[in-house]
Amino acid sequence: MSPEQLAGAASRHFPQTTLEAAQPLKGGVSANVYRLNLTTSDGAQRSVVLREKGKSGLETAEEFSLLVALHKAGLPTPLPIALDDGLSDATPPFILMSFVEGGSQIPEDQVDLRLLTMAQTLAAVHATPTGPLPKLPLRLDPLSEVLDFLPAGDEWAPLRGLCAALGACPYQGVPVLLHGDFWPQNLIWHGNRIAAILDWEDAALGDPLSDLACAILELKYLYGDAQVEGFQAAYGRHTEVDPHRLALWQVYVASAAQHYMGNWGLEPAREAHMRQTALRQIREAAEALLSNSV
């Protein structure tokens, strides 16, 4: 949004306040997010967050309804304040929500402890009752698009053949709430406590192992295999993990990452590291799948 649009949004939803500053917040590539610093008519100060509609995922109204339901359910999420369709002044649709103090960085000496907290929190997301939630897309089958995403080349022919032979592989359990992008940048910490889970635009209902596979790959980018094994083991203490099905989701997640990574605006060195990590995850998952199919 332009400064004028941000000022208009602030005055429309907070008419007795003055917008002192609008600060872009760093995060992913899917949406523009701003911290609005406001001063009320009696001199009090407050901050709120404005999140524009992302490039994909849930519509703004759907994401707002989900945030309302999640906040009522007791998950650590920002308090949704207002929904704006943008029609009044041709701005993109956006959500206003509370600003949660804290940060996303994990100190090196706290990685193991915080990954355990992340595993517990992801299990809590998956245990959230889905009855009160708005309608969400389904994410059930790791093989639905995997043939479109698998790397080309002879190395991947056995895996491609296995996936083609398996065909559909829908989740047989009761679909659970999925965050869709559960990684440190979407978490706000107060010390070793998660104060807020952000960015629910990729939320869905479906197989919890799809979320686990996404989180594992994101954490491998950041920390490597050894510490991620602790995260996976901690999650497994809360929810039973089928290693075969997890491997299928790991193939899907890492292959999709390879497919779309060039659109994420990454620095070349960072992209190269992430591509190598994703390829390694595909190889490891493929080895497990192919050895079990013999």
pLDDT tens by residue, 25-45: 875 567 899 999 999 988 899
Would residue 103 count as lying in a domain?
no
pLDDT tens by residue, 141-158: 999 899 999 998 999 999
90 and 142 assigned to the same domain? no
Q: How far apart are CA 241 and CA 182, in angstroms?
A: 17
Return the CATH number at 156.
3.90.1200.10
Give the chain's domain count: 2
pLDDT tens by residue, 77-87: 999 999 998 77
193 and 81 assigned to the same domain? no
Supply 130's token pair. 């889905």
Which residue, of 98, 123, 138, is where some domain finishes? Answer: 98
Predicted local distance difference test score (pLDDT) of residue 161: 95
185 and 129 assigned to the same domain? yes
165 and 88 assigned to the same domain? no
CB 82 within 8 A of CB 13: yes
- Domain of residue 44: give its range: 3-98
Supply 189's token pair. 């910490």
Is the pLDDT reported for residue 101 higher than 80?
A: yes
Predicted local distance difference test score (pLDDT) of residue 85: 87
**Dihedral, 103, 108, 114, 118 alpha carbons, nearest 10:** 80
Which residue, of 98, 121, 151, is where some domain finishes? Answer: 98
For residues 175 and 85, the model is more confident at 175
Q: How far apart are CA 15 and CA 74, in angstroms?
A: 30
152 and 284 assigned to the same domain? yes
Return the CATH number at 94.
3.30.200.20
Is the pLDDT reported for residue 112 higher than 80?
A: yes
164 and 226 assigned to the same domain? yes
CB 1 within 8 A of CB 93: no
Phi, psi values for residue 41, rounded to 5°: -65, -25
Q: What is the pTM of this model?
A: 0.93
147 and 237 assigned to the same domain? yes
pLDDT tens by residue, 193-251: 999 999 999 999 999 999 999 999 999 999 988 889 999 999 999 988 999 999 999 99
For residues 100 and 29, the model is more confident at 100
Instruction: Give the number of other Cβ atoms within 10 Å of residue 188's Cβ.
Output: 20
Supply 158's token pair. 């056995």
Percent of the chain with pLDDT over 70: 98
- Local structure of 140: helix, strand or coil: coil
Which residue, of 42, 68, 98, is where some domain finishes? Answer: 98
